[in-house]
Amino acid sequence: QVQLVESGGGLVEAGGQLNLSCRASHLTLTFSPVAWFRQAPGREREFVAGVGSRDDRIGYADSVKGRFTISKEHPKNTVHLQMSKLNIEDAAVYYCAASRTYTPDYVTSQSSYDYWGQGTQVAVSS
């Protein structure tokens, strides 16, 4: 059974940074498109960052460009999301998602992902 387990969430002051990780089991992320989504209270879940089956195919939501970095760590079968210059609008539950279908480019559509983590909370204080 495929599992995605996120870690690294927490409380941070505005302007600070956090590093989220998502480790997969029974699914090799090397060949899988992977993404991070987030959902704030009262809002729909939204795409944050994604990397395709090819590591050089990476994309970000406009709201996080230049502040967040997504990367795969192949030996550990893990995907990371490095977040810096966090602001109040970044506070949300962050979810890791992975697809079992080889797709070179990153994918922003939630329906394209087959597996989801349980989410990790990111809180930002002013």
Q: What is the pLDDT of residues 23-71, one digit of tens each?
A: 999 999 999 999 999 999 999 999 999 999 999 999 999 999 999 999 9
pLDDT for the residue numbered 9 = 96
Q: Which amino acid is at 116?
A: W
Give the contacts of 34 (CB within 8 A, at least 6 positions apart).
22, 50, 51, 70, 72, 79, 96, 97, 98, 99
Please report the pLDDT score of residue 55 as a whole number.
93
What φ, ψ does residue 94 adopt, rounded to 5°? -100, 130
d(CA 114, CA 112): 7
Closest CA to 58 of 39, 34, 75: 34
Closest CA to 122 of 99, 89, 97: 89
